[in-house]
Amino acid sequence: MRLLLDEMFSGALAEQLRRRGHDVVSIQDASYSRLQGASDRDVFEAALEEGRTVVSEDVSGFRGLELEAVAEGRAVPRFIFTTDRQFPRGDPATLGRLVRALDALLTGEAEVPAVVFLRRRE
């Protein structure tokens, strides 16, 4: 599974996952700067064109686009949704928790559904 991290995630998350051997890009990466501040539709289309799964907290924005595409018979990318409540951006430990959670998901990919709501283990 190839990931595209939405702009709320630091580029460090993508870098850590790449170090673990995963194909992950971030909107924070210089090569994806065209998507910084872009609409959800632009991110949706970029993920679809590149065969990437979008990782985001923006459930309402992307689910609306997904429903629209399905209604029109168009393809949709996969999604992994997280929440700031489960992975608080202000907590220094969040980066490590997200790396471990996404790494576990990526290494056990066989049973991944079309949409994943990633939650932190307590």
Does residue 110 carry a pLDDT above 80? no
Residue 120 — pLDDT band, cuts 50, 70, 90? very low
Residue 117 — pLDDT band, cuts 50, 70, 90? low
The end-to-end CA distance of the chain, in Å, is 26
Residue 109 — pLDDT band, cuts 50, 70, 90? low
pTM: 0.86
pLDDT at residue 68 in the model: 93
Average pLDDT value for residue range 56-60: 92
The pLDDT tens digits of the residues spanning 38-52 come to 999 999 999 999 999
pLDDT at residue 115 in the model: 47
Does residue 90 carry a pLDDT above 90? no
Average pLDDT value for residue range 80-88: 87
* 88 vs 118 pLDDT, higher one: 88
User: Per the structure block, which two tokens stand in for 50?
Assistant: 């590149």
Interacting residues of 5 by C-beta distance below 8 A, sequence separation 6+: 13, 14, 24, 25, 26, 27, 28, 55, 56
Query: What's the whole-number average pLDDT of the chain?
Result: 87
